[in-house]
Amino acid sequence: MTTDLKSYRVLVTPTSYARHDPTLRTTLEAAVGEVVYNERGVPFGAEDLLSLLPGFDGYIAGLDTISRAVIEAADRLKVIARYGVGVDRVDLEAARARGIVVTNTPGANTVSVAELTVGLMLSLARMIPTANRATKAGEWPRLSGLSIEGKVIGLLGLGAIGSAVAARLRGFDCAIIGYDPAATEAEAAAHGVALKSRAVVIAQADFLTLHVPVLPETAGMVDAAFIDQMKPGAYLINTARGELIDEAALLAALESGKLCGAALDTFQKEPPGADHPLFRLPQVIATPHTGAHSDGAINAMGRMALHDCLAVLRGKTPKHRVV
């Protein structure tokens, strides 16, 4: 027997939800009594959610800050269905203590983030944003870029996204090295990656790209000491989490010439604001946490979050439970 959910209310905060597939909205709206969407266009902070979340039974969550105080204030909440894989902004222990199920969408954005990573790498190597601006301004500069061919690409993290990046780079005739304590040499080799120590990957990479989660041991790991180990003139790419990088240390390395450039899709504070010091530098490419924002990834995240949110509300087991 199907559980009647018409007394339930669901909050949906990812602004891209159902952008490419309107049936995600109609399916959710047909299943429950009321759906409230994020109309302001940016993630919610904990202060916003303290007053907003009470009274909701289900929550399809974007990059909101879901603190212990928020969870304790959510008087009816049964499920937090994260629209994305990261759960570092959710207090999982508080959710567990309240009996609130937390799910995510693993693998939904793998291809999308991997493609953006390669795109940013090419943009750095060939100075595409600089060339674009100059040409539109009536200039005709003779810019000397880099070939990916023959370079060393270093991957920190060989999970789904890191492996997908490696697979897409194999046709560039570059050397791909990687570090992941959970990966075996055979697993790495299957994706064309030579498994190396963390220190070797950092030291040898011409392009170093980050694909690790935010954990106590990884938060702020790209600091002055880390950058000092990198090859002079190397490039850094981050499509993972902004919390991985000490932005002041990165700024100093770029200004000194230790690093030649950086491409960042994520920042410690989002949105970072137009006055962010890194934005003064032409060798920095910045994108607005857009790694998962392709039609394929958005549709997959929406379907997975919707499915698990409704499953929990119906008293069933979700497919991608975190806690």
Catalytic residue among 82, 191, 211, 289: 289
DSSP character string of 141-182: -------STTPEEEEE--SHHHHHHHHHHGGGT-EEEEE-TT
Catalytic residue among 20, 170, 270, 280: 270
Q: CB neighbours (10 Å) of residue 297?
A: 24
- Reduced to 3 states, what is the DSSP secondary structure of residue 12? strand
Phi and psi (nearest 5°) for 252?
A: -60, -40
Name residue, tokens 């370079």: 151
Q: What count of Cα atoms within 13 Å lies in the side-chain half-sphere of residue 263? A: 24
289 is catalytic: yes
Distance of CA 77 to the CA centre of its chain: 25
Contact between 107 and 160 under an 8 Å Cβ cutoff? The reply is yes
CA 59 – CA 104 distance, rounded (Å): 12
Report strand pairing: 234-238 vs 284-286. Answer: unpaired
Catalytic residue among 82, 241, 307, 320: 241
* Cis peptide bond N-terminal to 271, omega within 30: yes
Looking at the annotation, which residues are catalytic? 241, 270, 289
